[in-house]
Amino acid sequence: MDIFSNLWLGASTAFLPMNLLYGFVGCLLGTAIGVLPGLGPTATIAMLLPITFGLPPESALIMLAGIFYGAQYGGSTTAILINLPGESSSVVTAIDGYQMARNGRAGPALATAALGSFFAGTVATILLAVAAPPLAAVALNFGPAEYFSLMVLGLVASVALASGSLVKAMAMIVFGLILGTVGTDVESGTPRYVFDIPELYDGLNFVAVSMGIFGICEILRNLENEQERSVGVKRVTGLMLTKEDFKRVCGPVLRGTALGSFLGILPGGGAMLASFAAYAMEKRVSPNRAEFGKGAIEGVAAPESANNAGAQTSFIPMLTLGIPGNPVMALMVGAMILQGITPGPNVISDEPKLFWGMIVSMWSGNLMLVILNLPLIGLWVRMLTVPYHLLFPAIVGFCCIGAYSINNSVFDVFVMAGFSVIGFALSKLRFEPAPLLLGFILGPMLEENLRRAMLISQGDPTTFLRSPLSLSLLIFAGLVLALVLSPSISRKREEAFTE
């Protein structure tokens, strides 16, 4: 069988009117729920999972995939509009996206996110169709040692996220890493910093922390200087991208797609790295790097494309090996098992209709998302013109429900409140929150893989250097670190000199 007959088989499944409808309904529901603050893709899929129980397997999975894309896009929408990343990958979108929104350019930011995601999704889907099995083999080469080196690279790159002081950004990363150690230690099973609170055994929840540090904290800052009725948002200028914008986003979208497609294949947290690795890279190579952090459109285009490309390719380990790479994929596998299909290495040959149907529907799902969301941009932007004194209570309310819905427990609401205080104190001291969150995401993966690699190699640290893949990642991390430090060191010298 060649690729075209496969795609034809897929298209004949995915383009059935019923399946198109389910895909559309999935996108719609996903967007509608995902755009509520605090409800990211995992929560949204978990909530909507029961709806798909009665459907035939193909339709159920197509609908779930639609919900996934919708929720993911919804998360980016809240990141841009109200500085509230709904999941880890939209943390960096919030940095420049929210600034764009405040400059009255929420429309172009959302359009960039939608179009960039669609392009990335298309490319990644083609990649998936053409080369899923060999790509899965690449994923298998990443063992604990390689993941550790990858995480080191990610951490080094995340220093580049800071727009202010380098030392302060590093302090935030380390603080985030420490917060990531809260909970049961994976290797020994010892609880750390849990103070006998059972809810803390699984660690602090990312969504609750990020809602506190970003969303609620932003409200606090806005209420401080509430001069106008709609806080800080300048007059909205145009909803679509200008010609100039188009020129600026092309490069970032291409680079983001490439990076995201690759990192998404790695099931041990690669997709999480994708968006901010893309951002960090763009901040280095972009001719407009001075604008980063103040509303650069590249700062939205790159991470959003990387994020969506990664979201597509993260299906590769699940579809070719039957092994879910992240919580969302685990939910999908759960849904497949309920449908009587246990995904495994043979799913391509045993269930070709399902496999290729999924792949084609990924593309159609992305298409629907664009069709659905481009017209909605006007609506979202108009939301910003709602007087702020009516908007922010609603945000606080939905944040509370969102935090509650994570584990159906009020504990996460308290965590959110606690972190809004921490975030607020940090912002008063001019610390940036994004590096903290990235440290928090990467910390557990860094530690786990470090210790796992040491365990497997029986305490031999050369394991990180003996694997060529790991070695090259570490060398690369060293180069990036040198690159990041050099301009700031020379700047420091100058400063010291003028003293």
Partner 1 sequence: MNLNRFMAIAAAATAFCMAGAEPGRAADNYPSKTVTVVVPFAAGGNTDTFGRLVAEELDKRLGQRFIVENKPGAGGNIGLGDLARSKPDGYTIGMGTVSSNAINQTLYKALPYDKDKGFEPISLIASLPNVLVVNPDRIKANSVQELVEFLKKEPGKHTYASSGVGTSIHLAGELLATKTGVKITHVPYKGSSQAILDVVAGHVDMMFDNIPTAAQQVKGGKVKALAVTSLERAALLPDVPTMASIIPGFEATSWHGLFAPPGTPPEIVEKLSKEVQAIIADPAMKAKLEAMGVTPVGNTSVEFKDFIAKETVKWAEVIKAANVPLQ
Partner 2 sequence: MLKIRNGRDFVGGMSMICIGLLFIWFGRELEAGNSFQMGPGYFPRMLSLLLIVLGALIMVQSIIVQAEESEPDTWNWMAYALVIFAPVGFGLLLARLGLAPTMFVLIVGVAAASRYANWRHSILLGLFLSVCSVLLFTRLLSLPVSAFGPWIPFLGNV
Interacting residues toward partner 1 by CB under 8 A: 46, 49-50, 53, 140-144, 184, 186-191, 196, 198-199, 201-202, 267-268, 317, 321-325, 330-331, 333-335, 337-338, 340, 342-346, 407-409, 448, 452, 455-456, 458
> Contacting partner 2 (CB under 8 A), which of 285, 390, 456, 475?
390
- The encoded tokens of residue 155 equal 């951490």
388 binds partner 2 (CB under 8 A): yes
Nearer to partner 1, 140 or 394 (CB): 140
425 binds partner 2 (CB under 8 A): yes
> Contacting partner 2 (CB under 8 A), which of 129, 300, 332, 403?
403
240 binds, among partner 1, partner 2, none (CB under 5 to 8 A by kind): none
317 binds, among partner 1, partner 2, none (CB under 5 to 8 A by kind): partner 1
170 to 189, contacts with partner 2 by CB under 8 A? 170-171, 174-175, 177-178, 181, 185, 187-188
397 binds partner 2 (CB under 8 A): yes
Q: In angstroms, give the least distance from the CB of 115 to partner 1.
A: 32
16 binds, among partner 2, partner 1, none (CB under 5 to 8 A by kind): none
Q: In angstroms, give the least distance from the CB of 269 to partner 1.
A: 10
Nearer to partner 1, 285 or 456 (CB): 456
Q: In angstroms, give the least distance from the CB of 256 to partner 2.
A: 30
35 to 54, contacts with partner 2 by CB under 8 A? 47-48, 50
202 binds, among partner 1, partner 2, none (CB under 5 to 8 A by kind): partner 1
Nearer to partner 1, 268 or 295 (CB): 268
Nearer to partner 1, 34 or 256 (CB): 34
338 binds, among partner 1, partner 2, none (CB under 5 to 8 A by kind): partner 1
431 binds, among partner 2, partner 1, none (CB under 5 to 8 A by kind): partner 2
> Contacting partner 2 (CB under 8 A), which of 7, 27, 33, 406?
33
> Contacting partner 2 (CB under 8 A), which of 90, 112, 125, 420?
420
Q: In angstroms, give the least distance from the CB of 94 to partner 2.
A: 19
Nearer to partner 1, 345 or 393 (CB): 345
Alpha-carbon distances, residue 16 vs 2, 29, 121, 364, 366 (angstroms): 22, 20, 21, 11, 16
Q: In angstroms, give the least distance from the CB of 192 to partner 1.
A: 11
Strand partners for 115: none
> Contacting partner 2 (CB under 8 A), which of 113, 219, 354, 384?
219
Which residues lie closer than 8 Å to 252 by C-beta, 6 or more apart? Answer: 116, 278, 282, 286, 298, 301, 302, 305
346 binds, among partner 2, partner 1, none (CB under 5 to 8 A by kind): partner 1
